[in-house]
Amino acid sequence: MIPKKTLSALVSATFLFSATVHAEGWIGWMNVFENDNGSQGGFVFGSEWGVADLQTTLLQSNVGTYIGDQLELAPNFNAYNPDDAFWSDGAGGGNKFMEANTYVEVYGITMGMAEFMGTVDSYTLDAAYGAIAFIKVLDQNAGWSLDVFEYVDLASTNSFALASDLAAHQGKVLQLGFAVTGLNANPAMAEQLGNVVVTVVPEPSTYALILGAVLGLFVLYFRRR
């Protein structure tokens, strides 16, 4: 029988490896576009925002890894200002099309494959808004060109599973996350416009690492016997 302490240490080490391969902590980035009758118009600006400022709420978080994290994604309300024509249409609605990105990041890809999986626990987002899960690869040495963009529309599924071959993208920047798009909104409409709740689950490679390590320990133990 494998001692419990040995098995526990092995499994913990396997998860730690997974956590160090992937970036720790969620990052917020907002892209702002002109309002083209409720749709995306010309690009205005993009900048890093606090995750909470995007209107993303971390409902559950696990120290050292994003696996198991649960997030609530909602339309952006904090940019609404009824006295500013830049942000308000003057009739109680927003005046900028927002793309709120919440993601974890690996700066300098060294792995061969990226996988991003999870469940859509609830979806009450108004039809005027969209929400996706994505894998992106950006080339920081080529003007941050978007070299890979795999995504799943969260409105059409109870779960998502994305994978991308990174063999041709070593050294670039990997992002795994979510985006909510639509007009900045009046906070008074928060309940009516709804949200999306998602949970990140372990990718198959994590399970394979654990299973392989445990089986290896069994073999070593019986050889010693």
In this prediction, residue 93 carries a pLDDT of: 93
pLDDT tens digits for 49-63?
A: 999 999 999 999 988
Q: Which two tokens stand for residue 125?
A: 């987002």
Whether the predicted pLDDT of 73 surpasses 90: yes
Whether the predicted pLDDT of 65 surpasses 90: no
Tell me the mean pLDDT in the region 125-134.
97
In this prediction, residue 175 carries a pLDDT of: 96
pLDDT tens digits for 183-195?
A: 999 999 999 999 9
Tell me the mean pLDDT in the region 2-10.
34
In this prediction, residue 202 carries a pLDDT of: 84
Residue in the structure block whose two tokens are 């160090």: 20
Whether the predicted pLDDT of 24 surpasses 70: no
What confidence tier does 203 reach under pLDDT thresholds 50, 70, 90?
A: low
Please state, for a pLDDT cut of 90, what percent of the chain lies above it: 76
Whether the predicted pLDDT of 216 surpasses 50: no
DSSP for 90-133 reads: SSSSB-EEEEEEEEEEEES---SEEEEEEEEEEE---TT-EEEE
Q: Which two tokens stand for residue 100?
A: 């709120």
Residue type, 203: E
Per-chain mean pLDDT for the chain = 83
**Total Cβ atoms within 10 A of residue 111:** 14
Whether the predicted pLDDT of 212 surpasses 80: no
* CATH class given for the domain over 26-62+69-202: mainly beta
Torsion angle of C-alpha atoms 208, 210, 215, 221, degrees rounded to 10:
160
pTM for the predicted model, two decimal places: 0.80
CA distance 116 to 50: 22
Whether the predicted pLDDT of 16 surpasses 70: no
Tell me the mean pLDDT in the region 138-163.
96
In this prediction, residue 19 carries a pLDDT of: 32
CA distance 190 to 185: 8
Strand partners of residue 27: 103
In this prediction, residue 54 carries a pLDDT of: 96
CA distance 66 to 41: 33
Alpha helices by DSSP H, 118-203: 190-193
In this prediction, residue 153 carries a pLDDT of: 97
Tell me the mean pLDDT in the region 146-155.
97
Strand partners of residue 40: 35
In this prediction, residue 32 carries a pLDDT of: 98
